């Protein structure tokens, strides 16, 4: 009898998340407990999964030190337990925990549907977390679908608002189309190389001289398009503003951050590991996407009157900045940027949900007038987060930007770095615009209370933005150690 | 020879069915066009010796999924006197159609005249009789090498159930 090769340790965090989701659903059906019980189950599964990820990290670094790299390949090549997978998974789990905390007020307001919302968040994280660990491209697609489909539903949770329905439908249609493009690219990569596994594709391409690699190259292009959509890089970004605006604001930060983390780790894995032999072919495309995203994102963000749309376009620009890390072939730069940006994104949307209500659509910039007197803590932390996103020196955003720009410069893409710096300067303008509105306009409206869970999220976002800006050593070392196989 | 002939006929039927899906005014005809496409693709699978996939195609897609489509169409009701819709995209439609036509022609030209390496590695070391599309040939890898992918689809089913409740429950409470 043939037995499958099962290694529980490689997928235990995902297993815990799935168990947490199942537990939340079943407990809700059986006992209809207080919302805090459901929250505790979810928090427990996320915390234990994160703790287990640390164990995986120790395990993986031991294996690398002992030279037993083969131990890091699990489930007959389906998933990996390399540094990049574990780092990405840890960031995903952190974002999940803070995302649930930031969206807790919204989740509570859902009444009987809150169990489903928590379960969907946990399942989305499980999917994306499998995606960052995938070696097999089909597995990667499955992880992508598990995560994306859960996010489509979350985008439409607020049924009382048409905008939420619109966001969900747009996200669903365009997202399914992008998934189809991605899986078609995977099929063509398979047709061109005969392999599904990223490591095997790398092996095949370095061993074989393909005289006419057109099939594999078309596959590469389609994979870039499919994943470019998921990380909202221009010109595949058209869904982002509507979804960021329409989806429940308590959950948008989580949704945007998690899709970016998983998408960029997948891009790094496929392009930098699997298709590094095709570098000359995809580098110009990725550089073009990066330049377009940075310029378009930061320029269109300038003219937005809605903070959520502004953050969506700034997300497009950030996708471009992270793409320069792909051009520079620096996985540590990409991972550092992702960790820093993901936490800032969750923090920024925590502020948005505090200012314009957790379920509300849109967040006009006028809502932020005089926020410094209405809620000094909120205004101050939003200012720090925005300056971090803008990449002011002594914030983590600066170190992140410096890392990816330096790597792109050293690979000979000087023009891209110049474009990137230019785009960062433009981006400063709209981040400053919000800060000016918050601090230099008159007080309008009542004082804003900040719920307890949001305080924690904001505190973490602010502290990490400053601490990793002044003393980035710890995170930099972890990101540098988080090597892909 | 038979294979080529069969391929050409079935490919044409598949394309005609797909065109009918888009062009038919009556949604029931669209569904029937989809049925034609699905069945002819199933025949193409048989030609490729993928019997299992062909059977699944007929049972799942042509059977279950299409029945579901027809149910939805019938439930919503087929209105034959549908007023002519306002053309909100006067010229974009033609631009997209033109671009799509160029891409299809380009791809067809590439396939006909291009110099391609299709599956350089996979075809060489796989025995044709082993991939005869039998249930054993599919089940064995599915529950050994691909077991994780198989299990991950369980998450998808859970999401479908939880998502349907999450989205539908709101309206029911309203009504």
**Mutation site, A142, A164, A205, A218, interface B, largest B CB count within 10 A:** A142
Residue B128 predicted with pLDDT over 80: no
The answer to whether residue A171 neighbours chain B at the CB level (below 8 Å) is: no
The answer to whether residue B160 neighbours chain A at the CB level (below 8 Å) is: yes
Residue range B1-78 forms a domain whose CATH class is: mainly alpha
The answer to whether residue A65 neighbours chain B at the CB level (below 8 Å) is: no
The confidence band for A312, taking pLDDT boundaries of 50, 70 and 90, is very high
Q: Give the pLDDT of residue A93.
A: 96
The confidence band for B121, taking pLDDT boundaries of 50, 70 and 90, is very low
User: Over the stretch A68-82, which tens digit does the pLDDT of each residue have?
Assistant: 888 888 888 899 999
Average pLDDT over residues B94-123: 76
Contact A113 B169 (CB under 8 A): yes
Contact B152 A143 (CB under 8 A): yes
Percent of chain A with pLDDT over 90: 62
User: Over the stretch A255-292, which tens digit does the pLDDT of each residue have?
Assistant: 999 999 999 999 999 999 999 988 889 999 999 999 99
Q: Which residues of B touch A212 (CB under 8 A)?
A: 114-117
How far apart CA A191 and CA B111 sit, in angstroms, is: 14
The ipTM value here is: 0.86
- DSSP letters spanning chain B: -HHHHHHHHHHHHHHHHHHHHHH-SSHHHHHHHHHHHHHHHHHHHHHTT-HHHHHHIIIIIIIIIHHHHHHHHHHH---TTPPPPP-S-TTHHHHHHHHHHHHHHHHHHHHHHS----STTHHHHS-TTTTS--HHHHHHHHHTTTHHHHHHHHHHHHHHHHHHHHHHHHHHHH-
The confidence band for B136, taking pLDDT boundaries of 50, 70 and 90, is confident
The total of structural domains in chain A comes to 1
CB A325 within 8 A of CB A401: no
Looking at per-residue pLDDT, the higher value among A254 and A452 belongs to: A254
Q: Which residues of A touch B173 (CB under 8 A)?
A: 111-112
Residue B174 predicted with pLDDT over 50: no
Mean pLDDT computed over every residue of chain A: 90
CB-based contacts of A306, cutoff 8 Å, min separation 6: A245, A362, A363, A364, A365
**Mutation site, A192, A202, A222, A238, interface B, largest B CB count within 10 A:** A192
A321: distance to nearest CA of chain B, Å?
Answer: 31
Domain range for A122 is 8-481
Q: Where are the domains of chain B?
A: 1-78, 134-175
Contact B122 A143 (CB under 8 A): no
Q: Give the pLDDT of residue B131.
A: 58
The chain A residue lying nearest B172, using CA atoms, is A159
The answer to whether residue B172 neighbours chain A at the CB level (below 8 Å) is: no
Q: Give the pLDDT of residue B41.
A: 93
Q: Which residues of A touch B146 (CB under 8 A)?
A: 78, 138
Which tokens in the block code for residue B49? 């010796």
A117: distance to nearest CA of chain B, Å?
Answer: 7
How far apart CA A249 and CA A165 sit, in angstroms, is: 14
Q: Which single residue is written with the structure tokens 């918050």?
A: A438
Look at residue A385 and give its three-state secondary structure: helix
* CB within 8 Å of chain A, chain B residues 97-156: 110, 114-123, 140, 143-149, 152-153, 155-156
Contact A208 B120 (CB under 8 A): yes
Which tokens in the block code for residue A426? 């433009």
The confidence band for B132, taking pLDDT boundaries of 50, 70 and 90, is low
Residue A218 predicted with pLDDT over 80: yes
* CB within 8 Å of chain B, chain A residues 174-233: 190-195, 204, 208, 210-215
Percent of chain B with pLDDT over 70: 79
**Would A1 be classed as within a structural domain?**
no
Residue A80, H or E segment: strand A79-80
**Would A3 be classed as within a structural domain?**
no
């Amino acid at each position: 009898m043939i037995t499958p090769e099962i290694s529980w340790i490689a997928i235990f965090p995902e297993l815990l998340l799935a168990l947490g989701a199942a537990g939340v659903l079943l407990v809700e059906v059986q006992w209809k407990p207080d919302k805090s019980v459901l929250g505790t189950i979810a928090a427990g599964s996320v915390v234990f999964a994160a703790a287990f990820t640390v164990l995986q990290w120790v395990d993986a670094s031991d294996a690398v030190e002992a030279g037993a790299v083969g131990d890091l390949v699990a489930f007959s090549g389906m998933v990996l337990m390399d540094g990049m997978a574990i780092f990405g998974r840890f960031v995903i789990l952190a974002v999940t925990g803070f995302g649930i905390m930031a969206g807790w007020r919204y989740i509570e307001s859902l009444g009987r549907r809150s169990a489903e919302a928590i379960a969907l968040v946990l399942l989305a994280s499980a999917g994306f977390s499998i995606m960052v660990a995938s070696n097999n491209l089909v597995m990667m697609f499955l992880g992508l679908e598990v995560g994306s489909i859960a996010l489509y539903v979350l985008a439409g949770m607020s049924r009382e608002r048409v905008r939420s329905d619109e966001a969900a439908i747009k996200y669903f249609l365009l997202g399914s189309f992008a998934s189809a493009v991605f899986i078609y690219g995977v099929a063509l990569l398979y047709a061109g190389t005969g392999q599904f596994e990223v490591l095997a594709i790398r092996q095949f391409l370095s061993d074989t001289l393909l005289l006419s690699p057109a099939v594999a190259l078309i596959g590469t292009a389609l994979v870039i398009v499919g994943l470019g959509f998921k990380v909202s890089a221009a010109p595949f970004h058209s869904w982002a503003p509507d979804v960021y605006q329409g989806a429940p604001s308590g959950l948008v930060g989580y949704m945007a951050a998690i899709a970016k983390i998983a998408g960029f780790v997948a891009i790094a894995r496929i392009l930098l590991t699997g298709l590094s032999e095709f570098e000359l072919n995809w580098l110009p495309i990725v550089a073009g996407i990066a330049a377009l995203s940075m310029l378009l994102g930061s320029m269109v963000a300038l003219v937005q009157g809605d903070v959520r749309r502004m953050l969506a376009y700034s997300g497009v620009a950030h996708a471009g900045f992270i793409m320069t890390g792909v051009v520079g072939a620096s996985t540590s730069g990409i991972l550092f940027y992702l960790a820093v940006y993901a936490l800032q994104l969750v923090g920024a949307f925590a502020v948005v949900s505090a200012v314009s209500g957790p379920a509300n659509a849109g967040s006009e910039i006028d809502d932020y007038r005089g926020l410094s007197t209405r809620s000094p803590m909120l205004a101050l932390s939003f200012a720090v987060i925005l300056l971090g996103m803008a990449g002011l020196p002594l914030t983590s955003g600066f170190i992140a930007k410096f890392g990816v720009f330096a790597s792109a410069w050293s690979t000979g893409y000087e023009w891209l770095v110049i474009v990137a710096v230019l785009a960062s300067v433009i981006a400063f303008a709209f981040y400053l615009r919000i800060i000016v509105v918050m601090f230099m306009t008159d007080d309008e409206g009542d004082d804003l209370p900040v719920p307890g869970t949001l305080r924690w999220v904001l505190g973490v976002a602010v502290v990490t933005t400053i601490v990793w800006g002044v003393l980035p050593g710890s995170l930099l070392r972890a990101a540098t150690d988080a090597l892909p196989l | 020879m038979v294979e080529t002939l069969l391929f050409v006929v079935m490919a044409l039927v598949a394309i005609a069915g797909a065109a009918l899906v888009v062009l038919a005014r009556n949604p029931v005809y669209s569904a029937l066009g989809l049925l034609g496409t699905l069945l002819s693709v199933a025949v193409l699978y048989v030609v490729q010796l993928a019997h299992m996939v062909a059977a699944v195609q007929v049972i799942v897609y042509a059977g279950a999924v299409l029945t579901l489509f027809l149910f939805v169409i019938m439930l919503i009701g087929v209105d034959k006197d549908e007023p002519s819709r306002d053309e909100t995209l006067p010229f974009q439609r033609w631009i997209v159609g033109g671009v799509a036509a160029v891409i299809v022609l380009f791809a067809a030209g590439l396939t006909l005249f291009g110099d391609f390496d299709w599956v350089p590695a996979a075809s060489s070391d796989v025995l044709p009789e082993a991939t005869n599309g039998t249930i054993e040939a599919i089940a064995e890898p599915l529950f050994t090498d691909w077991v994780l992918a198989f299990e991950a689809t369980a998450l998808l089913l859970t999401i479908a159930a939880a998502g349907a409740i999450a989205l539908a429950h709101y309206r029911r409470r309203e009504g």
